[in-house]
Structure 1
Amino acid sequence: MEKSEVYSQELAKLQDIFADVDPSKAQLVEGLLEDAAFLKAENTVLKKALKITGMVKIHPTNPDLQKPVEAARQYLKNVNSYSVIIKTLNSILNKNIIDEEDDDMKEFE
């Protein structure tokens, strides 16, 4: 799958998840949704390359000499950034759910 396809699918998935969120919150997280989709697409490309090269280069005559591949470093940075974004988005979703439950409980007060 091409990077642009991965981006489009991830963005559509995230936008679908946030479809029922308060419009002001949805507008607030719009950039995070795009960043998450971008990182997912970038990591798809890096992961394909890492399947070929591996994450560490090992010296052919001295296996004790090892060197991390730059793509592996970037992949891990992207994973960490993606994880932070997803946690942030999840906390906004959970806050939205709690707010909705509070609204439902007001009917019984």
Structure 2
Amino acid sequence: MDIKTITDTYAVSAQIEPNDVQALVDAGFTTVICNRPDSEVPPALQAAEIKAAVEAAGLKFVINPVVHGQLTQDILDIQAREIETATGKCFAYCASGNRS
């Protein structure tokens, strides 16, 4: 996992796996945002699997999928709200990190 820091409280990366969650905990993240639609990934990497690992580690998980070419104001509002209200650092992922 290659975490790219955007601000002091927000970072992004490409798709994560359940075994990456401990590194997020160790890095001080408290919220994980999934910007990747389940249709893009196999079942083992879909939101439910990542959510289970994230919540088991005590972090908040938010599903906010961004489909290529379909970015809406609602998606932007959810992302902004989650970043602003996170109790610590916020981490988001998608296929490459670019949508996040």
State the TM-score, normalizing by the size of structure 2.
Answer: 0.31
Larger radius of gyration: 1
State the TM-score, normalizing by the size of structure 1.
Answer: 0.29
Compare relative contact order (CA 8 Å, sep 6+) and give the higher one, 1 or 2: 2
Structure with the higher fraction of residues in strand conformation: 2
